Amino acid sequence: MAHPLVPEIVSCAEPIATGLGLEVVDVVFQTNKKPPVLRIDIRNTSQDTGLEDCAQFSRQFDTYLEETALIPGTYVLEVSSPGTTRQLTLDREFIAFRGFPVIVKTYAPFKDKKEWQGNLQKRDDEAIYISQRGKSITIPRDLVAKVQLDEHR
């Protein structure tokens, strides 16, 4: 379950990211750590995300957090890019990574398998569609546990 501050953090972080040509991909606030860790994953919308993107966003967002005292007390801010092992969750990610190799894991076996590899074709309300060696496979969404980019292919 997400920390109750996460939606407010996202709404504050998005305009700063947009102003830098970036997109907020994920926000996690880990209060079980001492000090708590606020992790924000960003992506450059026009090129590969680099260290300078993370540093620029970190400087601007850290200043904003200090000025507004949105997070009380001490915390650590970590800004990074999501990397290639990223789990796909948003509609725009399924569009952006169309044609990319993915791994689809299911809660229960589908056609005697719980893990499928192939190139992402699309996702709709009913299913995830992948291609394996030119053959289209339709996996019902209600069986899908997660879809992630396949970094080994």
pLDDT digits (tens, 9 = 90+) for 35-53: 888 989 898 888 888 888 9
87-103 pLDDT, tens digit each:
888 787 788 788 888 99
Whether the model pTM is above 0.85: no
Query: What pLDDT is stored for residue 48 in this prediction?
Result: 80
Q: Coil, helix or strand for 46?
A: coil
- In the chain the domains, ranked by start, together with CATH numbers, are 6-80 (3.30.300.70), 87-149 (2.30.30.100)
User: Is 146 in contact with 87 (CB distance < 8 Å)?
Assistant: yes
- Sheet of 22-30, strands arranged across: 22-30, 37-44, 76-80
